[in-house]
Chains A and B, each alone.
Chain A
Amino acid sequence: MREDDLTAQEREALAALPREAPPSGLLEERTVRLLENRGLLTRRTRRVFLIGLPQVSAAVAVVVLILASFWLGRWSNAPSTTEAVPSPERVEDLRRLAEEVQRAGSEYILALEAFSRARRGDPRDLEQGREVAATTLRAAADRVIGLAQRRAADGGSREGRPQEQLIWF
């Protein structure tokens, strides 16, 4: 036996070292995105794994927000050009819509808080949850901007009416 040969004890110690270690859960998503960007993987619609109440609440909030956005979009894209002063019905619609958006956003934020506390999901689910959150909040922000513009336009032609205040979440 040469001096630098491993002893049986050394061999045993080296053999006992672990051969595997999991990297962080986000590395898989990072790698998948990189491969998608390089055209090595086919991009597909991300599945959102919904498990538990917080995630369901988030999904419901998203649906409400999308419907409200759709409604607002339809309404604001087809204004009556002959209408110089908004009718009381239109103002009421606008107020109701603002409330819908506000409620949806608030529910969504609450759901996200619960979601972050849950910690029982797969890290991939958390990542996807974050993506959903970012997309939804962007959509909400777009709606708020559109809403504010409409309200400013309507407000200018509604002399004497008290300005309603939209409190965002």
Chain B
Amino acid sequence: MDSDDRSLAASLLQSGDEAAFRLLYRRHTPRLFKLVLRLLGGVEFDAEDVVQETWLRACQRLGGFRWESAFSTWLTSIGIHVAQDHLRRRGHSPLTLFSDLPETSDPRQGSRLPIDLEQAIARLPSGFRQVLVLHDIEGWTHGEIAVLLGIAEGTSKSQLSAARQALRLRLREGGPTCAKTI
């Protein structure tokens, strides 16, 4: 596990070294998987498909990677694109309007069952969820998010603002337990 990403990638490129791939995979997949899982709203089966597709694309494009960023950052950006494609195929837009949110007075929504922060994030509309996960959890800037999601920087900011409000609302709706969570 001492080999750095660059030398492992070189072995992978030169000879299709399976052992090198496995090391890279084990090093970076847990983080990638968690991120993708959050972006997709917690559907593990879909997240695994996205992770697999991410590695496929990464290996196909590895020769063109110029190492101007960390391997993990590059891999993550591929993962986000694949997750985006996945969501698009399921009819989700990278943008969400506040009016898209379901009525919170819906008795099913306002069941007063405690939900935790992770669940509340998973239940956000995908557009809100993506910006919130990338900015508030993963620490990406609005500029980076705008490039990744193909939206304007201002849109990323407004989506984040709305996402936070929606999250607070959901946590309050979720009951007193989760209201204390955030």
Contacts and interface: CB of A to CB of B under 8 A. Distances in A.
A21 B37 contact: yes
B96 interface: no
Interface size class of A (residues with CB under 8 A): 20 to 34
A76 B44 CA distance: 52
B10 to A, nearest CB: 14
B31 A20 contact: yes
Interface string A2-42: 00101001100110011111111001101110111011111
Q: Is the interface of B mostly helix, strand, loop or mixed?
A: helix
A28 B22 contact: yes
B110 interface: no
A33 to B, nearest CB: 10
Nearest to B30: A20
Contacts of A35: 21, 55-56, 59
Q: Is the interface of A mostly helix, strand, loop or mixed?
A: loop
Interface stretch (B1-9, B46-54, B79-87, B143-151): B46-54
A13 B167 CA distance: 13
Interface in B3-45: 12, 15-18, 21-22, 25-26, 29-31, 33-34, 37, 44
Contacts of A4: 160-161, 164-165
Given A4-B165, A20-B30, 13 more contacts: A4-B160, A17-B137, A19-B137, A20-B33, A23-B33, A23-B44, A23-B47, A28-B25, A32-B21, A34-B52, A35-B59, A39-B16, A41-B18
Interface of A: 4, 6, 9-10, 13-14, 17-24, 27-28, 30-32, 34-36, 38-42, 44
